Amino acid sequence: MALTENNQCGSEGEAKSRPGTFLAQPFTLIGEAVIGWINGLGKATLFLFMALVKTFRSKQLSKVIQQVYYIGARSTTIIMLVSLFTGMVLGLQSYHALIKFGAVGGLGALVSLSLIRELGPVLTAIMITARAGSAITAEIGIQRISEQVDALHTMRIDPFRYLISPRIIAAIISFPLLTAVFDFIGIIGGYVSGVALLGLNAGVYSHSIQSNVDMKDLTDGFIKAIVFAVIVATVCCYQGYYVHMRKDSHGAKAVGLATTSAVVISCVLILVSDYVVTSLLLI
């Protein structure tokens, strides 16, 4: 064994001194990063698959309800606050832009379609990532480093079934509902700024919404919400569950970094997947 290791070290040393290695090094690094990324993606996909497979059991219901309360119900206030001001600022900016073209009657359609198709699902997902996603990563991460996940194994309790699956299902239930809340309150925000503050006719605002928003807009928005739910819940649970395998740190610091990674990766993936899903839905 020692001989083999020595030989390997020797061959690495020789490779480093070979001409041309310097030029190949950037490609090696890129290759390693891409392979690592693909491996991670595959692992996360299997992680999601395992969690979904282990959903179907009567005892899961109470855990899912608990998580719906935590991820969904307790996020409602912040979602309402953010959506109200998003709608208001959207109404305000759009009013001043539309009035230049004499198209202020389309304010309701612009606000509602922007919210239902894009802003509602995206901002809801980002807000839940910040509020509940980070907490999920930290909670599972601490359970991992304090051997609570190992304790589940020793008690023959499947950690996927106990920790991961309820959170992913709860996210899939909560995200569309909170998106609906966001859309509704956002449209009211647009009404407040456009109608109550800037004097647009209320009938014009609501008629514009009624005549321009159809069922496909709503379903597209909810499809996005479900995709974001799966992404956010999977990323946050995955980062927490495998916190002990991080190479950059250990213990409490690893939990902190995992939480940061979970939020950053979730937000980036929300925006990337938003473009991909929108493209597919528009085909």
Partner 1 sequence: MNTPLIEFKNIIKRFGSQTVLENVNLQIYEGQVTTIIGLSGSGKSVLLKHIIGLLKPDEGTILFRGKPLTEMKKSEIAALLARISYMFQGNALFDSLTVYDNIALPLRETTNLKKAEIDRRVMARIEQTELTEAAYRYPSELSGGMQKRAALARALITDPQIVLFDEPTTGQDPVRKNAILSMIAQYQRKFNFTAIMVSHEIPDVYFISNRILALYDKTIVFQGTPEELGNFDHPFNDEVIHSLEGLQKELTGLYSKRQFKVLNHVQLKRREAGENYCIAAFTLTNLDAIISSMGHDKAQEVIHSMGVYIDKHFGAIGGFSTRRKANEFVTVLPFSDIAEAESILKDFVKDFQEQGIRDIWAGAQKQAPSGKCVDFSIRAGIAQGQPTAEIDQVIDSARSQQKEIGRLQCAVGE
Closest distance to partner 1 from the beta carbon of 178 (Å): 23
Residues that bind partner 1 (CB under 8 A): 5, 59, 139, 143, 146-148, 150-151, 153-157, 162
For residues 74 and 207, which CB has a smaller minimum distance to partner 1 in the complex? Answer: 74
Closest distance to partner 1 from the beta carbon of 4 (Å): 12
- From residue 235, alpha-carbon distances to 72, 122, 180, 238, 268 in Å are 17, 16, 23, 5, 11
Distance from the Cα of residue 23 to its chain's centroid: 38
Closest distance to partner 1 from the beta carbon of 154 (Å): 4
DSSP 18: S
CB neighbours of 92 closer than 8 A, spacing ≥ 6? 193, 194, 197, 198
For residues 149 and 265, which CB has a smaller minimum distance to partner 1 in the complex? Answer: 149
For residues 2 and 283, which CB has a smaller minimum distance to partner 1 in the complex? Answer: 2
Closest distance to partner 1 from the beta carbon of 151 (Å): 4
Neighbours of 6 (CB within 10 A): 10
d(CA 255, CA 240): 7
For residues 18 and 153, which CB has a smaller minimum distance to partner 1 in the complex? Answer: 153
Q: 125, 165, 141: which is closest to 239 by C-alpha? A: 141
Closest distance to partner 1 from the beta carbon of 49 (Å): 19
Closest distance to partner 1 from the beta carbon of 233 (Å): 19
Cα dihedral 173, 176, 178, 180, rounded to 10, equals -140
d(CA 200, CA 107): 9
For residues 4 and 279, which CB has a smaller minimum distance to partner 1 in the complex? Answer: 4
Closest distance to partner 1 from the beta carbon of 77 (Å): 22
d(CA 95, CA 107): 6
For residues 159 and 176, which CB has a smaller minimum distance to partner 1 in the complex? Answer: 159
CB neighbours of 265 closer than 8 A, spacing ≥ 6? 235, 239
Contact (CB, 8 A) for 157 and 261: no
For residues 18 and 57, which CB has a smaller minimum distance to partner 1 in the complex? Answer: 57
